């Protein structure tokens, strides 16, 4: 019979928490609204607060127990706009099921609008505790925590390709655009864009691997590169049509570990266009490891545009024919 869980573990699994948080000004990229990446950052911060409230802050998990905190899956549905000066009421509700070996949480973000409580985002986050080989645990794990620990994130499954991956060599190589046979094979005839580069340390945590916030940044950057590649560069669209990008849903799942300075192949595929208002893309990430590709992350995002009908009054913009053509016409060149 399993031992009675430590009170801190019971709190993680059973006790809802509420944090009052503010988004970072960094996320205020266009107009007064906060972008999807930083809305997800607030959801992550709320779960970090939940761990602190339970008595298991991530610093103690790492220093005392040798465990790294990793968000391995984040799925968000975005509702009302989150403004740069908003104070968010972030409610974390434990959703871990019996027998699951990952923590699962629902995070709802509420703001006040004209005296009313409005939900601006609803997320599900999955958290794993990764045993860190760099340090030695100072004390045993609290009872009930072991089932949520893992020696490695993912399985390391290899992808067979006809094209032979060749390392770039220099760290600064690959940041521009160049033809790549592996990306060409991954993309094939699909409506996709490809990007190959080396991951810097500033995307990583615990001295080693890319964290979830890093993949949120990668998703944002590949979208920017994709739009520019299709003739829809964000600044130009803003200047000529008055449209700003908006995200309604996003999802990223870590399938394996991506290690600092590994070469990352990111394939960004347009999957659907809905009623000339929204389009959905899929992001698949691979690393070059021992001469083979390993799929380390996957995700999806739903995008549209807002148009400023009157000052500070926004409505969904309907895609014109040129935009639909750009989104649906694959380019032969890859980056």
**197 band by pLDDT with thresholds 50, 70 and 90:** confident
Go through the chain and tell me how many residues it has.
335
301-335 per-position pLDDT tens digit: 999 999 987 776 789 999 999 999 999 998 753 33
Q: Are 330 and 265 in contact (CB under 8 A)?
A: no
27-64 per-position pLDDT tens digit: 998 788 899 999 999 999 999 999 999 999 999 999 99
Q: Are residues 147 and 157 in the same domain?
A: no
User: What's the pLDDT at 181?
Assistant: 87
User: What's the pLDDT at 255?
Assistant: 97
Q: Are 260 and 199 in contact (CB under 8 A)?
A: yes
pTM of the model: 0.86
CA distance 87 to 111: 7
User: What's the pLDDT at 334?
Assistant: 37
User: What's the pLDDT at 168?
Assistant: 54
User: What's the pLDDT at 216?
Assistant: 97
User: What's the pLDDT at 72?
Assistant: 97
Please count the CA atoms within 13 angstroms of the CA of 333 that sit on its side-chain side: 7
Final residue of a structural domain among 127, 151, 175: 151
61-112 per-position pLDDT tens digit: 999 999 999 999 999 999 999 999 999 999 999 999 999 999 999 999 999 9
User: What's the pLDDT at 251?
Assistant: 98
User: What's the pLDDT at 148?
Assistant: 97
201-230 per-position pLDDT tens digit: 999 999 999 999 999 999 999 999 999 999
Q: Are residues 176 and 288 in the same domain?
A: yes
Q: Are residues 158 and 239 in the same domain?
A: yes
User: What's the pLDDT at 169?
Assistant: 52
Q: 109 or 185, which is more confident?
A: 109
CA distance 88 to 302: 23
Q: Are residues 117 and 156 in the same domain?
A: no
Query: Total domain count for the chain?
Result: 2
Domain that residue 76 falls in: 1-151
Region at 266 (left for phi over 0; alpha for psi -120 to 50; beta for the rest): beta
Final residue of a structural domain among 132, 151, 170: 151
């Amino acid at each position: 019979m399993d031992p009675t869980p430590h009170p801190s573990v019971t709190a993680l699994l059973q006790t809802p928490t509420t944090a009052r948080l503010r988004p970072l000004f960094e996320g205020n990229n266009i107009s007064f609204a906060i972008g999807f990446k930083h809305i997800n950052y607030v959801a992550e911060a709320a779960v970090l607060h939940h761990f602190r409230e339970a008595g298991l802050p991530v610093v103690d998990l790492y220093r005392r127990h040798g465990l790294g905190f990793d968000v391995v899956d984040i799925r968000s549905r975005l509702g009302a706009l989150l403004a740069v000066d908003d104070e968010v009421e972030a409610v974390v509700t434990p959703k871990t099921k019996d027998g699951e070996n990952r923590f699962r949480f629902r995070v709802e973000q509420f703001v006040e609008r004209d005296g009313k409580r409005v939900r601006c985002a609803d997320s599900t986050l999955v958290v794993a505790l990764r045993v860190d080989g760099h340090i030695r645990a100072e004390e045993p794990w609290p009872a009930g925590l072991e089932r949520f620990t893992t020696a490695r994130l993912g399985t390391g499954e290899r992808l067979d390709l006809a094209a032979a991956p060749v390392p770039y060599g220099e760290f600064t190589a690959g940041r521009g655009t160049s033809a790549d046979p592996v990306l060409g094979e991954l993309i094939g005839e699909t409506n996709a864009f490809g990007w190959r580069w080396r991951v810097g340390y500033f995307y990583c945590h615990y001295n080693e691997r890319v964290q979830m916030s890093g993949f949120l940044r990668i998703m944002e950057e590949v979208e920017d590169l994709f739009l520019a590649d299709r003739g829809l560069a964000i600044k130009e669209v803003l200047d000529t049509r008055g449209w700003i990008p908006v995200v309604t849903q996003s999802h990223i799942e870590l399938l394996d570990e991506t290690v600092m300075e590994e070469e990352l192949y990111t394939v960004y595929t347009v999957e659907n266009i809905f009623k000339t208002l929204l389009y959905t893309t899929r992001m698949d990430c691979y690393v070059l490891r021992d001469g083979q590709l390993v799929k380390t992350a996957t995700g999806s995002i739903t995008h549209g545009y807002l148009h400023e009908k009157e000052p500070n009054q926004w409505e969904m913009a309907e895609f014109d024919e040129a935009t639909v053509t750009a989104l649906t016409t694959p380019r032969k060149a890859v980056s």
